[in-house]
Structure 1
Amino acid sequence: MKHLFKTIVLTGVLLSCNSNEKTQTTTAEAQDRETTEKSVVKEVNKNLKPIDTNDALIATALMAAPEASRENCKVIGYNMAGEFVTLKEGDNEFIVLADDPNKEGFSAACYHKDLEPFMARGRTLKAEGKKHQEIFDIREEEMKAGKFDITTGATLHIYSGPNTEYNPKTSKVDKAQLRYVVYLPWATAESTGLPEAPVASNHPWIMNPGTHRAHIMISPLADEEK
């Protein structure tokens, strides 16, 4: 009986030791993973710089344009002095609107040059103090009157995110993502077969249906590598 009791106690001790060893191993592995993750984040953050020069504004704005077209894009927008200027001359079909350094977050856009009259009108009305709905209504009436046209199928590329730091080696802005707008003036859900609200990530849908500003919205899935 004594031998049986000793055997039970010894087994319990061994099991307890094994359990402790496993717990210690698991804890150590978790700590190692956490240390590695922190090191990676620290290394990434070390590569990021503030967007605080005109050259940085241009470089990050061009990320909104198709890669093959970036070299010859015209870039406009507010410079670091707060002046709305041409930041870079260009001669292809794209115009790029740089991020406004005086606003929170980051947002740059690239669009076909034929859209510039429409875009410029919006900037003018906004500078006059008009609110979003007022600008919408005014441009709709002006488009109905033939003052300008939105080319069917013209595309707007938007590169935006919550942060204002970028990697100078790649020009990528921290946590920024691309989304796309394809203009289809006066189109509706019925004429396109598209839903009027997103049904899932990475699925197209139609926004502002039946208006001058009807457009297909496409928001790609997040790039996990960023």
Structure 2
Amino acid sequence: MRYSSLIFAFAVVAASLPAACTQAQSIPNKEQQISAALLAAPEPERAEATVLGYDAQGKVVTLREGTNSQICRADDPNQPGFEVVCYHKDLEPFMARGRALREEGKNGRELFDIREAEAKAGTLKMPTHPATLHILAGADAQYDPATNQVTGANYRYVVYIPFATAASTGLPERPTVPGGPWIMDPGTHRAHIMITPPAQE
């Protein structure tokens, strides 16, 4: 009986370990997060960029304070695939508000409508100039921390121009050639130019 009880107790403890261990191992260390995040930044901007990442609880934290106009964000370990981004610091109020609303359970159209109303009311500060977001991402992309290389990811640009339209920019609302620029969400706080270079073979 004593042996059986010991085996049962061990099994209970062992069963509780994988979840905790998986959580701890799923978040790369600070240096790995910074190195990966900076891959989204233009190379001349990497050394002085601010880097956001994730703590042990999966919360967004500042991993490194920078001195230039760029803010990079590490890959979210709780999301499938791989995505790192880098954007102009004047987009941070917009990005931070999005993070806060998602923590409240807001997504999709509801999140869009809240930020739209706040931007129009002036309580959400949006850039008064074009501001670029760089994205390196792929649904099946893999990051190798040993080489600081990503395979299976594509690079694209998003240039935010709040409340711009096709008429004000001369851009189409749909891509007309592969990799050509077009404007998405025209006339809203989230109006932006999409530029997606063709995937490299």
Q: Shorter-chain-normalised TM-score: which range?
A: 0.7 to 0.9
- In terms of fraction of residues, the more strand-rich structure is 2
Output the amino acid matched with 2:140. Answer: N
Which structure 2 segments of 5+ residues have no match? Answer: 1-25
RMSD: 1.8
CA separation in 1, counterparts of 2:121 and 2:167? 25
CA separation in 2, counterparts of 1:59 and 1:222? 23
SS at the partner of 2:134?
strand
Q: Does 1:193 align with 2:170?
A: yes
Identity of aligned residues (%): 57
Q: Does 1:84 align with 2:74?
A: no
**Closer, same or farther in 2 for the Cα pair 1:197/1:90, shift >3 Å?**
same
Which structure 1 segments of 5+ residues have no match? Answer: 1-49
Query: Quick one: which of 139, 147, 153 aligns to 1:162?
Result: 139
* Deviation for aligned residue 1:51: 7.9
**Closer, same or farther in 2 for the Cα pair 1:187/1:83, shift >3 Å?**
closer
Query: Quick one: which of 171, 177, 199 aligns to 2:154?
Result: 177
Deviations 1:92-149 (A, max 9, x none): 1111111101110011111111111111011101110012111111111111111112
Instruction: Find the structure with the greater CA-based Rg.
Output: 1
Query: Quick one: which of 41, 48, 69 aligns to 1:93?
Result: 69
Show the counterpart of 2:129.
152
Q: Does 1:118 align with 2:104?
A: no
Instruction: Write the mapping of 1:53-68 to structure 2, written as runs, cut at 5 A.
Output: 53-68=29-44
Task: Count the aligned residue pairs.
Answer: 175
SS at the partner of 1:173?
strand
CA separation in 2, counterparts of 1:94 and 1:155? 10
Moved more, 51-60 or 88-97: 51-60
- In terms of fraction of residues, the more helix-rich structure is 1
Tell me the TM-score normalized by structure 2: 0.80
SS at the partner of 1:181?
strand
Query: Quick one: which of 184, 188, 192 aligns to 1:215?
Result: 192
SS at the partner of 1:71?
helix
SS at the partner of 1:143?
helix
CA separation in 1, counterparts of 2:75 and 2:143? 12
SS at the partner of 2:179?
coil
CA separation in 1, counterparts of 2:83 and 2:128? 23
Tell me the TM-score normalized by structure 1: 0.72
Partners of 2:174 and 2:183 within 8 A in 1: yes
